[in-house]
Amino acid sequence: MEAKWINQSEINRKDWDNLVEKTENVSIYVCSFYLDATAIDWEAYVAEDFSFAIPVGVVRKGGITRVYPPLFQRYVEPIGDISKIDWEAFEKSLLKRYSKGDLHVKSAILSSADQKTISVTKHIHQSVNQEQYKLKTQAKRMIKRFEKTSFEIREKNIDTYLLSELIAKELSNKLPLYGTKDVQHLFDVVKKAEENGYLYKIAVFDGETLKGGLIGLKFNGQLLYLKGTAEEALQEDGAMYALMNHFINYGLSQNCTIDFGGSRVKGIQFFNQRFSGVDVEYFNYSWDNSPPWFKLLFSLYRKIKV
């Protein structure tokens, strides 16, 4: 099936989301609202008859448009009738249109990694379903510690904006990103998810004072843990373990698989494994055929940004 690249400005959101709905086991990351909220810009490789599409995040700097992984978006994936996709044609078209790129995808889709045109790196995230779920000893111990406190976990009467602000503030103490304007992408995801009925949130209170919480997205049989935290003193009392246990049990009660989100931080992976989180691979394809002058400018830009 012939296909071409289209910028998001030319894509009808209703038609796009109808295609998402027709895709088996698709993730929330490729819903139009999620792409709009996270990506600086995005384009898609779209079939002439709109039977399939493959979105990619893009950004233009120095006259070069490159593929990049948007913040708070673990990966993208094809939607629609995937059997119609000519993967060789897609790969050639991708490399021709974008001289530089980092493409995070749910499954292995490109072949040039074997030819050293594109490098591929495997990453992992964790998930757990009803059959796999079992609390490890440390999780049980921390949950019991939390139960001895006067703090309370609630699902109702939670101000979404205040919870988002608290999460960003607490996380910025360890991750500078959450103290920059880029955190607005997270706020936009949360706002749009709530408007579309996908948001799930829980919070921990000391009386009527908000002390932490988790934000998740419920979509297509999955409950995705987006972001969350608690004030440091509460973490020592097991608040994060208690919150996550509540989060998981809610998801399982809704017949959802729990997706812990993507993190390469070993400490977070260890935390997820206390709830029997199972490793799931995804893939990062990288290539750079940009002009030498752009490679130099991009290298300087990265150094300045860091």
Q: What is the pLDDT along the chain (306 residues), one digit of tens a residue?
A: 899 999 999 999 999 999 999 999 999 999 999 999 999 999 999 999 999 999 999 999 888 999 999 999 999 999 999 999 999 999 999 999 999 999 999 999 987 655 668 899 999 999 999 999 999 999 999 999 999 999 999 999 999 999 999 999 999 998 898 999 999 999 999 999 999 999 999 999 999 999 999 999 999 999 999 999 999 999 999 999 999 999 999 999 999 999 998 666 788 889 999 999 999 999 999 999 988 777 766 666 666 655
Closest CA to 191 of 148, 160, 212, 224: 160
Q: Exposure of 68 by Cβ count < 10 A (0-12 exposed, 13-18 middle, 19+ buried)?
A: buried
CATH of domain 3-124+282-305: 3.40.630
- The string of DSSP codes covering 157-189 is S--HHHHHHHHHHHHHTT-GGGGSGGGHHHHHH
Residues 78 and 56: their CA atoms lie apart, in Å, by: 10
Superfamily of domain 133-276: Gcn5-related N-acetyltransferase (GNAT) (3.40.630.30)
Q: Are 3-124+282-305 and 133-276 equal in CATH topology?
A: yes
Helix (H, G, I), strand (E, B) or coil at 59: strand
Reported as half-sphere exposure (CB side, CA atoms, 13 A), residue 48 has a value of 4
Q: Residues 204, 205, 210, 212: what is their CA dihedral angle, to the nearest 10 degrees?
A: -20
Torsion angles phi and psi, residue 218, rounded to 5:
-100, 115
- List, in sequence order, the alpha helices (H) in 127-285: 137-147, 160-172, 184-195, 232-236, 239-253, 266-273
Residues 216 and 36: their CA atoms lie apart, in Å, by: 18
Residues 102 and 59: their CA atoms lie apart, in Å, by: 11
The structure tokens listed for 216 are 């998740």
The structure tokens 């980092």 sit at 102
Domain residue ranges in the chain: 3-124+282-305, 133-276
Residues 122 and 61: their CA atoms lie apart, in Å, by: 27
